[in-house]
């Protein structure tokens, strides 16, 4: 009997929150709660988008413990171990409120309807696109266009390759149960990284002159690469910090408001090394790597480009949402 190849589960709850409420979920300020883990790259996309678009005052944020257990993501970081808005201890409670005896996995990001306590969506691929395009009435003044209509075809094409080979490729490498499976995924990861390095050598951002959804989706993998994917997922041909182009690009984004201020390296490391016991049975979390380099000059501004286009940077991180000082460089 052949070994199973890692295959990412599709989102089960794909309702959309839209301006016209076509799926029964209209965009409304203070109605929904975004649940994330700072460890998870898919959830980090949503955290970055929310910051860049200035939706903090309209869409509240719940942050889970990086170490979930067999009862799902848990709210042990909050007083009493309960989310203060939803009043639940585990995210599966919102899933159960939506569909009793739901048999699938409980994933983040998730958006929960606060009045009913029901999960609305866990569709990580569509969620951030809707934040950028359907929630415009609640965007802050000066919010950037993260999914501009005239660039969508190119953005979609770039994002598809990044997802298949890199975002998901590192997982296919790390969870491979056979040598050939691992080597195929490993090859995809570094082939895509090489292509991205070539693309970014003469341009500041992936598509156009400003930050777009494509940059967010690439960043969340790059920022985790040296800390967890290089060793834990056996993607060890080279580190991002050893590629001058990708390392400068990643630092440029990290130092841009809305990106690095959402990154919690402690949560990232403790989750991957502590939860994936099949890969790391000892549960030991490596002491490294040294994070100081993330704050060094990148000089990418010499390539031109305007991070926020005609807009402005987001304001300070809201009180209570700051990443602890000892969890960042």
CA 249/CA 100 separation, integer angstroms: 45
Q: Which of 217, 49, 38 is nearest to 133 (CA)?
A: 49
Catalytic residue among 32, 40, 205, 273: 40
Helices (H), the chain: 41-53, 92-98, 124-133, 152-162, 169-174, 179-200, 213-224, 244-254, 265-275
Q: Is residue 73 a known part of a binding site?
A: yes
Q: 103 Cβ partners below 8 Å, 6+ apart? A: none
- Catalytic residue check, 171: yes
Cis amide linkage into residue 14, ω under 30° from 0? no
Is 244 in a helix, a strand, or coil? Answer: helix
Starting at the edge strand that comes first in sequence, how are the strands of the sheet with 60-63 ordered?
A: 60-63, 32-36, 110-113, 118-121
Question: Token match 């005609």: residue?
Answer: 310
- Catalytic residue check, 235: no
Number of H helices, E strands in the chain: 9, 4
Please give the torsion angle defined by the CA atoms of residues 51, 55, 38 and 168, in that order, rounded to the nearest 10 degrees. -80
62: phi then psi, degrees, rounded to nearest 5 = -115, 135
Annotated binding site for glutathione: 73
Tell me the catalytic residues.
40, 171
């Amino acid at each position: 009997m052949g070994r199973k190849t890692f295959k990412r589960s599709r989102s089960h709850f794909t309702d959309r929150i839209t301006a016209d409420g076509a799926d029964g979920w209209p965009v409304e300020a203070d109605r929904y709660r975004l649940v994330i883990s700072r460890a998870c790259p898919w959830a980090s996309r949503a955290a970055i988008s929310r910051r860049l678009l200035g939706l903090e005052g309209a869409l509240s944020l719940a942050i889970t413990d990086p170490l979930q257990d067999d009862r799902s993501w848990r709210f042990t970081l909050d007083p009493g171990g309960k989310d203060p808005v939803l009043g639940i201890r585990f995210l599966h409670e919102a899933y159960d409120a939506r569909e009793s005896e739901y048999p699938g996995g409980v994933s983040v990001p998730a958006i929960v309807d606060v009045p009913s306590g029901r999960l609305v969506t866990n569709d990580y691929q569509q969620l951030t696109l809707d934040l950028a395009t359907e929630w415009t009435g609640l965007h802050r003044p000066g919010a950037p266009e993260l999914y501009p209509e005239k660039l969508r075809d190119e953005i979609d094409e770039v994002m598809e390759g990044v997802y298949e080979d890199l975002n998901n490729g590192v997982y296919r490498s790390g969870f491979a149960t056979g040598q050939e499976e691992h080597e195929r995924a490993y090859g995809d990861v570094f082939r895509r990284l090489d292509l991205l390095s070539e693309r970014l050598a003469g341009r500041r951002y992936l598509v156009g002159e400003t930050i777009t959804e494509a940059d967010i989706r690439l960043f969340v993998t790059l920022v985790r690469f040296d800390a967890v994917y290089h060793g834990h997922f056996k993607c060890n041909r080279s580190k991002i910090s050893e590629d001058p182009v990708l390392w400068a690009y990643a630092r440029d984004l990290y130092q841009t408001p809305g990106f690095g201020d959402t990154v919690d390296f402690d949560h990232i490391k403790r989750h991957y090394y502590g939860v994936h016991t099949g890969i790391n049975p000892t549960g030991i979390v490596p002491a490294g790597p040294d994070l100081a380099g993330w704050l060094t000059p990148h000089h990418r501004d010499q390539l031109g480009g305007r991070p926020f286009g005609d807009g402005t940077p987001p304001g300070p991180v809201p009180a209570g949402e700051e990443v602890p000082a000892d969890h960042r460089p």
